[in-house]
Amino acid sequence: MKRIPILPTLIVLAACAIMIRLGFWQIGRLHQKEAMLARYEAAIDAKAVVQFPIDEAQTSAVLYRRSEVVCINPSADRPKSGENAAGLAGWAHVFGCTGTYGTPATIVLGWSADPRPRTFNGGRVSGVIAYGPRLVVVDPALSAAAGLQPNAMPDPRDLPNNHLAYAVQWFAFAAVALVIYGLAVRKRLQG
C-alpha cells in the first residue's frame, strides 16, 4: 500500500498557507487604500490652502489639496504628454522653478495640442498638489492667461485600487495548488 508523501505534502500545505496569508494581506491593503482614497476625496473639497514648501514626510497628507507658491526663476518649458480638462490627449506644459524658501517646485501651467514650448515668467501660482509634494497643477485662470487650456486636474479616482483582484488571485492560486496536488496524490495512491 502506497502512503501519502510527507515532505511534499508539507511543502504544498506551507505554500498554500503563504498564498492564503498573502490574500488576506491584500484585503488589508484594500481597506487601507479605500481609506486613503476617501482622505484624498475629502482633500479636494477642503477650503484651507496648504502652505508651500511641503515636507516630503507630509506628501500623503497634502495630495489633492489647494496650495500656493511663488515661482521664481522658472526653467524652460518641458512639455509632457497629458490631458486637458475635457479629457483630450495633448501636451502638459511643465516648468520647474524655485519656490518659497528656495524649495524646488514643479508647475503644470496648462495644456495644448501643440508641443512647442511656452514662456512662463514666474510669479504667484495657485493650484492643486498632485503626485508629490512639489508638483502643482495650476488653476484654469492662470492657464488661460498663458494662452493654454486648463490641464486635467488630478483626481484620486484615477488611482488604481486592485487589491481585491490580487486577493482573489492568491486564494485561487492556493485552491489550484491544492487541487493539482490532490489529483497527483490520488493518482499515485491508485497507481
The residues spanned by each domain of the chain are 52-158
Cβ density class 111-149: b for 16+ within 10 Å, e for less: bbeeeeebebeeeebebbbbeebbbbbbbeebbeebebb
Does position 156 have pLDDT exceeding 90, yes or no? no
pLDDT confidence bin for 132, thresholds 50/70/90? low
Q: Which residues are 98's β-sheet partners?
A: 72, 104
Rounded to an integer, the average pLDDT of 145-168 is: 89
By CB atoms closer than 10 A (0-12, 13-18, 19+), residue 167 is buried
In this prediction the pTM is 0.73
Rounded to an integer, the average pLDDT of 50-62 is: 71
